[in-house]
Amino acid sequence: MPYFQFLPHIVLFIIGSLVGLEASYKWHSEPFVQRTIEPIPLAIAIIGGILINIYAPLGFLFLGFVLGMRPGYGFYESILGIVLALVLWVIL
């Protein structure tokens, strides 16, 4: 069975998570305080949710960025991105 057709999806997801982790630790070096929706991850999540229906590996790169952010951050953004992706997939 050719599983490796999903290799680009997985590899790009991992790269996105790594970049997201590094970036979010740059943005937030303070102790974890509270959850708020931030504009940049939200934009990335929305781009990912749209792209995943056009060219899936790139969409996984952007969604991986949001999902892979520092623990506690990017939670609502990633949920929004996934829901958007699902809604678009149902519509299209």
Where do contacts with other proteins occur on this chain (CB under 8 A)? Answer: 1-8, 10-11, 13-14, 17-18, 21, 29-32, 67-72
User: How large is the C-alpha radius of gyration of the chain?
Assistant: 14
Q: Write out the two tokens for 67.
A: 């999902």
Contact 66, 79 (CB under 8 A): no
Min dist. Cβ of residue 75 to other proteins (A): 8
Min dist. Cβ of residue 74 to other proteins (A): 10
Please name the residue that has the structure tokens 């949710």: 49
User: Closest CB to other proteins among 43 and 55?
Assistant: 55
Compute the distance between CA of residue 60 and CA of residue 88 in angstroms, rounded to an integer: 15
Min dist. Cβ of residue 20 to other proteins (A): 8
User: Closest CB to other proteins among 3 and 91?
Assistant: 3
